[in-house]
Every structure is written in structure tokens, then in C-alpha cells.
Chain A
Amino acid sequence: MPPCGAGVDRSSHSMDKSITLPPDEIFRNLENAKRFAIDIGGSLTKLAYYSTVQHKVAKVRSFDHTAKETEGDPLYEISMQEEVSARLHFIKFENAYIETCLDFIKDHLVNTDTKVIKATGGGAHKFKDLIEKKLKLRVDKEDEMTCLIKGCNFVLRNITHEAFVYAKHADSEFRFQNTHPDIFPYLLINIGSGVSIFKVESEDTFERVGGSSIGGGTFWGLGALLTKTKRFDELLQLASKGQHTNVDMLVKDIYGGSYGSLGLTGDLIASSFGKSATPDKEFSKEDMAKSLLHMISNDIGQLACLYARLHNLTRVYFGGFFIRGHPVTMHTITYSINFFTKGEVQALFLRHEGYLGTIGAFLKGAEEDSRP
């Protein structure tokens, strides 16, 4: 969740760490942090904490006017008061920063009546020892999928305009959906390194109905091999500049036009990378990245659509780091869903897709704390 509102002023700390954190912006209100949850994925770490914020509020005090009617007396009084309120903080950073971040947290934790940190994500077991050593908190692992679903339910209920439809060529690219008390049932497609597909029927009833190994990790891994570009975001950058038709074999490349009797248009991709077996031809990094992105997005789109049809679900949410609000990804997935369902199913994206696991883990912890 992007931080908003004025923060408490905190002067720059000089840190002798190899990676310097911008302390003013990140880890706000850490002094008062009370409850922690961490979600360590294959590449990104998401941290959540609950803290209290002191902020000034204008209080209105009205005077009793029944007794006296003194002309000129103020009818009420406005005073500024300090008030303490609860706030949730969510921070996301690459796994490479995890040690620096843990050190920073340790240095700034003042009120540590917290004993436990809720952890989830595949990386949780890898970094368990490090976290326990650094923070002196006991790592309490929570099931990743449960956290994910819990988080998703939470944001769908609590964040205005959390879900949106992406339409590249519309007047407005993003069309936000209003929050709705009736969020079930839905299909959640979580695209991390791989893809997991969940059918969510109620707060406590959900099932992983399917999945695929062709996901964000495939884009990253194959992309890195093909383009020698190792960073995920750079790969997406490359893709946004490429022309997939140079690499993909289209219906028209085979049939000279559309395949009318089957309803296949000429521009439809018949075979991803179908042109790249041509001997002695070089392909640009951009084109290959674009083709790869199309291949993966289309595939996920088709799977999503098939699972939605199998389970009779019309609301399909996409989350996970592969999406990351990236227009090309969202566009190809939307396109693919529209193609396969002929408009019956809408692809919905989440503004805070990356935080679902952390939110869920945090909520788990909160539930446990509130139990008598």
C-alpha cells in the first residue's frame, strides 16, 4: 500500500551498509511498529507492520448554550489535539536487500513487545535463520496460499477501486471496479515464478484447482537466455518495444491469409517462435522478448478462461509479480481472455497484487492476537 499523508520527521541516519536505504521514505513509523509479517518470494520480499501514528486532529468543542445567551461568545471551539491511530505499512523490495533491511529494522525497533514475525512465501524457509538471528523474533510460518487468499479477500473488501479492467485502446486504460460486499465466488490466478489457480468460494473455502509452470519465472528465465538481459523489468522494457510478428508464425504466414472456415484471423499467432527455426537469421532482443511475453500471457489467459468455464466462474482476478501493473502483460492477458471467452469473462487486475501474501500473513497474526 503506498504510504500517504505526512510522515513523522526522522533525520537521516548514516548507515555503513553497502546498500543505502532511503530512510525517510521507507520504513516509516518503525519506532512504533508492533506486529510484523513478511512474505519472501522467489525474488521479492514484502514486509508488513502495524504501527501507531500520532497525528494532530482538529477537535470541535461546542459550549453549552442552554443556560446563557451571551452575545459574542463563541458557539464552539476548535483545538488541535494529538491522536494515536493504527496504520498498516507495506514495503516491497528485492531479496538482495533483505539483510540490509533486517539490520535497519533492528536498529529502529523501539517498542519491541513483539515476539513473533509471521512469515510466508517460498523464501521464508531460506531466510528463517537470518531473520531470527537479526531481529530476535521467532519466525512463525504461515501457509502461503491461505495468506494469499486471505489477503485478496481483504483488499477486495477494503480498498476502493482495488480491482480494475485493463483496456489498452479505450479512452481510459484503467476501469476500476467498485468495492462490493459480495465478492465470492471468484477465480484467482496468481502469476509468480509459476502460476497457481485458485477457486475461492468463501472466506474459508478455497481450492487450488490448477496451475502451470509457464509463468513469470519462465519469462524471466527464457528471456534472460534469449536476450542476455538479466533483469525482469528490463525484459519487460524490451518486450514493450518489440514486434512479435518477426518471430512468431502467424496464421497468414501459413495460409497466406485468414483460415476462414475455422474462424482464425490471419494475424492470430499460429506458432510462438515458429519463425525462429529459420537458419542463419538473427532476431532482435526486443522482438524475442515481445514474442515470449505474448506466448506466456496468452497461455495463462487461455488456462484462466478454461478453468473459469469449468468452474462456472465469471470473475477472474490476476495477481502476482508477473503482472506488476505492466501494461503489456495486462494487455496480452486481457486480449487472450477476451479471445478465448468471447467476452464472457473479464480479466480483473489488482492494484496491490504484490502484497496479498503479506496482508494475509499479517491478518493471521492479528487474528491470533485477538483471540482470548
Chain B
Amino acid sequence: MTERSSHSMDKSITLPPDEIFRNLENAKRFAIDIGGSLTKLAYYSTVQHKVAKVRSFDHTAKTEGDPLYEISMQEEVSARLHFIKFENAYIETCLDFIKDHLVNTDTKVIKATGGGAHKFKDLIEKKLKLRVDKEDEMTCLIKGCNFVLRNITHEAFVYAKHADSEFRFQNTHPDIFPYLLINIGSGVSIFKVESEDTFERVGGSSIGGGTFWGLGALLTKTKRFDELLQLASKGQHTNVDMLVKDIYGGSYGSLGLTGDLIASSFGKSATPDKEFSKEDMAKSLLHMISNDIGQLACLYARLHNLTRVYFGGFFIRGHPVTMHTITYSINFFTKANFVRIFFLMGSSFFCLIHCYFFLLYLDPNQYSWGENYAGSSGLMSTSPDLNPMQRARSGTFDMLEMDRLERQLVNLPLLQDPSSYIPDTVDLSEDALAREYWLYCFEEALDGVVKRAVASQPDLPEAAERAEKFRHKYQHKLQTLRHQPFAYGSLTVRSLLDTREHCLNEFNFPDPYSKIKQGENDMALKYFQKVVKSLEELSWEQRQFALVRGLLAGNVFDWGAKAVSEVLYYSPLFSIERPWLVDAYDQWLERLKGPPHKCALFFVDNSGIDIILGVFPFVRELLCRGTEVRSYTVLPLISEKLSAVKEDRLTLVQSGSSSPCLDLSRLDKVLAGVVRERHVDLVIIEGMGRAIHTNYYAMLSCESLKMAVIKNSWLADRLGGKLFSVVFKYEVPPGHKTTTLDHVPVTPS
């Protein structure tokens, strides 16, 4: 983000310019969704950010001492979508701000949707000098919903107030239809969505968010929606509502009605000359409306035989009381768990999202998109009271940013059951102890990351300043997560790592490790031939163990280790005594004596000692056995260095993700194609991030090998082992037969 100093604005409402309307200078296309009370603005802009590019030199005529490859920082331009939500009261100020900051206005049109679009049409056209082009609201809504369900991880969640974790997030799923969408704005609209283009408004109700607001304002004299919700969260509805026990003195057993059930909302308030507290009335009102909507949702779901019900719209707004009452109500009405209900995090952005794509003139589903954690406010950021960490102004502005990913992402075709696959091993939002530990860990590590970030760009003088900004931002995110672990979906080690990655990118630190890695790669590559040679001298059985040992040992060492090859293969410092914590080595060895695998898919890190001296020899052995290897990595790897095997049986693919973790449900579509085409029958996952933090329990439909050394004593303890415990998981799906190849297998020597 380009530095922009505070502008002094003589507007009645001051906008925090650094935070809201980011990248406005490069904004290209606009869309606006004006509801009854809230305005949502979207724009598409390009962000310049630095990426590390690797260039390897031609070594055919090699000079000793020359670097083998060069890492250079390059500017890359990528597409980003910005979404901002604010109250209608701010609309004029915001339009002025946009006008003042729009530099490259080749834009002539602003797409508009929402009921308010016709009201503000003239104002927008006058202020922005853009033509307002209206789009159908409901179409926008549904298309937007489809889009977020497909592209935002943990967009939908189940709410359970009294569970260990209030929010249980659902993974993105390619198969989203059919579903029922309940949009609770001023009123309620109920849509049955059967496919991208088939949807119908099957019902609706006039008792919605506007009713809560309107009746609430009349009853409590509180005019602000959020304040009403605040009041409600403190109230006792039983003072106002008539319960079953108030009528029957207890439960009504024969009808299965418990005593605490509300028999009549506001049934007690007709009592003459009694005053009722604002809080109690607001709570009762909230219950009344939520229950009613819940019941309607459930009835429509049953009528249309739909089991997935999504709730969105401004009434929900991540407010726990609302979600709880709706969930309670659905559970009450469906009894037999017939209907599953989900709430949507970015729900009020839906409309806009789709509207936005209309003007992009592109099919949103051609690309995959990802939420940029660094620029999104997260769930419930608009409830200042529930979130003391947020600045006061966040109550008015809410943001979401999405980056267009270079590749379209799909499931790994080898997942046994894609619908139940959860990449993360531990859900930190459900596990308070683990959450505390990991948040602490990431806070502790922050200094080191900042230092490395500065060190990675020695030529750039303002790197230190940027690194400090990064520190501030990430620290703030961590604090937010401490208070609202569910702000960006389920909190996991992966999401903590990803958030850090996004924040680093935000401040132009694409790869803080690049310098160290470069040095180490150079050194490691020089040792490579020596290692290969010494391995070749071992017997077959000795060699297999040495390879696994080397791979595991590579896992242990962080950057900066000296005398790497010795350490990896011979050092007594790293004892790798079996039996390991999870030890399937014997089965693996047995398997190696059988026919070679047809094609192996190997998920590895980008570069470093561990890769070159640990993974490469292992891969080389597989190749020698006659197995093709598709290695899936983060950055372009210096593949020609595997000179020992000059065959095209090794392919290296970039994942496009910089995360050290691995989500097998969001992989490059091209890779999925390769997996099918080449009949991959072995998946190897290596490293803590990929094999422990994620995918530890992933079930695949082919053989899999998961290897890691647990480099964290807390985690080791959790798993019942010690620091540096080894996990070597070799799994064969039940009923699986190893494939026999036509050609003669390489016999063990």
C-alpha cells in the first residue's frame, strides 16, 4: 500500500483514510449497494507488490564460486476486490472522498443495486460524474452468495452458544446446491437456490430487521440498531414474555412443551401499570423475531425438501443473540436434525459482490478468490462493545478484501470424502488451551520475523519502517483473534500463518526467508552430489532408512544450520531412534519391496537444505524405482539441480500459495488434472505445517505417507511424545491393492 498521509478534511464526518478506501488511486470499477440503512461499496483495484523471483544461471560452462541462482525482487500487479460497508448517513462524505482520490478515472459507469439505489442515483451521478446503472437486487444477492460459498474459506458457520466453540465453520465445498437462503434485511426474503441460474423467491415475511429496529425504537426510544442489539443482549425476556409455565404452572407435558418455552411474546406486558425495562423489551422483541424467522425457515426448508439453510442480511450481523435464537428456534422446530443451518460471515456483501462482477464482464467462477485477512475486518467487528480491541470507528466501517488468485482451485481428486475433509488438525477456536499457546507462540516469534523481514531487503532503506508497520498490524490481528477467535473463520495454526503471510505481503515482504534460503541452497547444492554418492554406497535396505532419516532430519533444522550434510546423515546430535511416535516404517519398507508406484505426488516446501539434501535424494530413489514424481511446491525450485535424473518423469508445480500449510481442497486445477491423468497412487506430505498442523487426519483414496518431526514441545506433549518425536504415517486405504505396472520393477539391490 502506498503511503498516504492524513488529509485534513473539512467534512462533518472524518474518515480514517489510511484504513478505509485502500488503493483508491488505482480503483478501476465501482459498484454500490444501497440498502435501507447501510451502503456497501465495492471497487476493483490493482495492487503492486513485490514478489521474489528465482533465476538460475546456465551451469553448462560452470565457474566455481559463482552463485547457482539469483533471487530478485520484482514488482507484480495483481487484482484485488475491496468491499466497504458504512451507514447511509456517511454516503455523501464517502462520495466526496472517493471523488477527491480517484486519479485514474477511465471509468464511466457505476453499477448500483439495492432498494436505496434509486434514491441516491442523482447524488451519485452529481458527485462522481459516473452514470448509475441499476442491477436487479435479488439476482445480485444469489449470485453473490454462490460466489462467497465457493470462494471464501469458512464463510458459513454453525452457531452453538453453549458448545465449547460458539462457531463451527464449514469448509468451502464445490457442491453448494440446492440450498435455502434466508435474507433478513428490513423484511425477510426466502429463496430456494437450485443452481447458478435457477432460483426462486419462495416466501418472505414482513417481520424482519426493520421490525426489530422500528418496534425497538418505539418501545425503548433507542434509535440505533446496534444499541438496540446491545440492550437486547443485557435483557431478560422472561419479564415480558408469557412462558408456558406462567400459564400452566410448569411444562405442558402431553404436548411436549417445556415450561420455559415462550407461549406468548409480550404476553405479560398488557399488565396494567407495570413498567418494563428497555433491555427486557428489546430482548423479548429479538426473541420474537428470531423465533418467527427460524420457524418460517424451517417450514420452507421442509416444504421444499432442503437441508441446507443459509442466513444472511443485516439483522444477523454476527450478533450472537440473533444467531442463538434463530439456531434455537430451528433446532426446536425441526427436532430430528433435519435441517442444518448456517450463517454467513460476509453476508451483507453478497449483493455487491455479484453486482460487481457484472461490470467486470467476467465469470467470477473462472477464477478463484481468497480473502485477504490483512484488509478485512472480520466477523462482529461492528459490535464495538463485544470487541474492545477495535477502534471506535470500526463501528461504522466494515471491510472485506478479496484477492484474485492466479489459479482456479479445486479439490485434490484423491480425497476419500471431499465433503468431510477438514484440513486443520486442531480447531483453535474450540480449544482454549491450544489457542492460548499458539497465540503466545506467534507473538513470541514476531520479533524474529520482523528482523528477518528487514534482513531480507538490505538494499531498501525504508524496510525497517515497513517492518514496524507489519509488526503493528499483525500484533493487532493477534490481539483481535485473542478476543474473537472466530473473526476470520475457525482459528487454526494455518490461519495464523496465513494471516502473517498476508500482513507481510501487505508491507512488501514477499519472502523474509529469501536471503537465508539463497545462501543455504547454494551451500546445500554443493553437497548434493556427495550425499547422493554416499547413499549409493549403502545397501538397499540401509539406503531406504537413510533416505527417510535424511528427510526427517531435514525437517528438524531451521535455517542457519552448519555442516548440514553431516548433521543430516551422520550426526549423533540428532538421534532418530525407533520406534517413533507414529511408526509405520516397516510397512513402508515392505511396500518398497513390491512393485514401484506409478506416480507419486510430493508436497514439499520451496527450497532450503531440507529439500535439497533431504527430499531430493528421496525423490531420486523413487524415480530410480520407476515412479513418476510430481512435486508440488511453493516457489520455483531449481529443478535442473536434480541432474542425477535427466528425465521428464519429474515435474515441479507451484502451488500458488505461500502458506507452509496445505489445504487439499483448494489446489491448482491443473494439478488436479495431472493427478487424474497420471493416475497418482502415492501422496507424500512432508513437514509440520503440511502433515501435522494440517492433513494429519486427511483420508486419501490412495497410499499416503505423512512425515514430520515435531519441533514444538507443547505440540509433542499434546500428541503424547517428546520434542523431536517422529511421525511416520504410512496409510493404505481399506481394500486397496497396490497397482502392478506393466514394465519390470526395479529389483532391490
Q: Give A contacts to B, CB under 8 Å.
A: 42, 122-123, 125-126, 143, 145, 192-194, 196, 208, 210-218, 220-226, 230, 232, 247-249, 254-256, 261-263, 269-277, 279, 283, 288, 294-295, 298-299, 302-303, 306-307, 309-310, 340
A125 touches B248 (CB 8 A): yes
Does B201 interact with chain A (Cβ within 8 Å)?
yes
User: Which B residues between 209 and 230 are near A, CB-CB below 8 angstroms?
Assistant: 209-211, 213-219, 223, 225
Question: Is A145 touching B206 in the complex (CB atoms < 8 A)?
Answer: no
Q: Please, which residues of chain A bring their CB within 8 A of the CB of B295?
A: 210, 212, 303
A306 partner, pick from B265, B270, B300, beta carbons under 8 A: B300
- Interface bits B266-299 vs A (CB < 8 Å: 1, else 0): 1111101000100001000001100110011001
Decide: B186 and A249 in contact? CB cutoff 8 A: yes
Q: How far is the CB of A219 from chain B (nearest CB, A)?
A: 9
Cβ B296 vs Cβ A302 within 8 A: yes
Contact among A224, A283, A303, A307 with B218 in the assembled complex (CB-CB below 8 Å)? A283
**Distance A306 CA – B205 CA, assembled complex (angstroms):** 12
Contact A145 B214 (CB under 8 A): no
Contact (Cβ within 8 A) A310 B270: no
- Indicate whether B208 reaches chain A with its CB closer than 8 angstroms: yes
Residues of B within 8 A of A143 (CB): 254
For the complex of A and B, the 8 pairs showing the least CB-CB separation, nearest first, are A217-B264, A271-B210, A273-B214, A221-B266, A217-B267, A274-B210, A254-B115, A122-B247
Contact A194 B267 (CB under 8 A): yes
Q: Does B187 contact A (CB under 8 A)?
A: yes
Contacts of A277 in B (CB 8 A): 210, 213-214, 216-217, 223, 225
CB closest residue in chain B, given A196 = B255
A81 to B558, CA, bound (A): 116
* B residues in contact with A212, CB < 8 Å: 291-292, 295
Whether A306 contacts B241 by the Cβ 8 Å rule is no
**Closest A residue, CB atoms, query B215:** A273
* B291 and chain A: residue at smallest CB distance: A213
Q: How far is the CB of B182 from chain A (nearest CB, A)?
A: 14
Which residues 227-269 of B sit at the A interface, judged by CB distance below 8 A?
Answer: 240-242, 247-249, 254-257, 262-269
CA distance in complex: A284, B439 (Å): 55
| A200 to B254 alpha-carbon distance, docked (Å) | 16
Q: Which of A192, A223, A306: most chain B Cβ within 10 A?
A: A306
A217 proximity list for chain B (CB < 8 A): 242, 263-267, 270
Q: Tell me the minimal C-beta distance from B199 to chain A in angstroms.
A: 11
**Structural contact, A271 and B269, CB atoms closer than 8 A:** no
Find B118's partner among A255, A294, A307 (CB 8 Å cutoff): A255
Are B206 and A226 interface neighbours, CB within 8 A?
A: no
B259 to chain A, nearest CB (A): 12
The answer, among B186, B217, B219, B288, for a CB contact under 8 Å with A214, is B288
Max chain B Cβ within 10 angstroms of own Cβ: one of A192, A262, A270, A288? A270
Taking a contact as CB atoms closer than 8 A, the residue among A224, A298, A306 that contacts B299 in the complex is A306
Asked if B302 lies at the interface with its beta carbon under 8 angstroms from chain A, I say yes
Q: How distant is B65 from chain A, measured CB to nearest CB, in Å?
A: 72
Which residues of chain A come closer than 8 Å to B269, judged between CB atoms? 221-222, 224-225
Q: Is B36 an interface residue (CB 8 A)?
A: yes
Q: Please indicate the chain B residues that have their CB under 8 angstroms from the CB of A306 in the complex.
A: 203, 296, 299-300, 303
Residue of B208, B223, B249, B254 near A271 (CB, 8 A) is: B208
* Residue contact B211 to A271, C-beta cutoff 8 Å: yes
- Inter-chain CA distance A213–B268, complex, in Å, is 12
Can you list 6 A-B contacts (CB < 8 A)?
Answer: A213-B264, A270-B206, A271-B214, A273-B211, A294-B206, A295-B211
Interface residues of B in 134-191 (CB under 8 A from A): 136, 138, 185-187, 189
User: Which residue of chain B has its CB nearest to the CB of A275?
Assistant: B214
Return the CB mask of B119-133 against A: 1 if under 8 Å, else 0: 000000000000000
B186 x A225 contact (CB < 8 A): no
**Set of chain A residues within 8 Å of B36, measured between Cβ atoms:** 249, 254, 271, 274
Which has the most chain A C-beta neighbours within 10 Å: B138, B189, B241, B266?
B266
Q: Kindly provide the distance from the CB of B249 to the nearest chain A CB, expressed in whole angstroms.
A: 5
Would you give the shortest CB distance from A297 to chain B, in whole angstroms? 11
CB distance from A322 to the nearest CB of B (A): 10
C-alpha gap A269/B205 in the complex (Å) = 9
A274 touches B214 (CB 8 A): yes
> CB distance A221 to B296 under 8 Å?
no
Known contacts A42-B247, A221-B270, A306-B303; A273 and B264 CB within 8 A of each other: no
The yes or no answer to B434 lying at the interface (CB within 8 A) is no
Task: Given A272-B211, A298-B205, output 4 extra A-B contacts at Cβ < 8 Å.
Answer: A192-B264, A217-B267, A272-B210, A277-B213
Q: Which residue of the partner chain A has the closest CB to B267?
A: A217
Interface centre among A273, A306, A309 (most CB of B within 10 A): A273
Q: Are B263 and A276 in contact (CB under 8 A)?
A: no
Contact check, A218 vs B218: say whether CB atoms are below 8 A apart: no
Write out the residue numbers on chain B whose beta carbons fall within 8 Å of the beta carbon of A340: 203
Instruction: Determine the residue in chain A with the shortest Cβ distance to B117.
Output: A255
Cα A224 to Cα B281 in complex, Å, equals 13
A309 to B288, CA, bound (A): 24
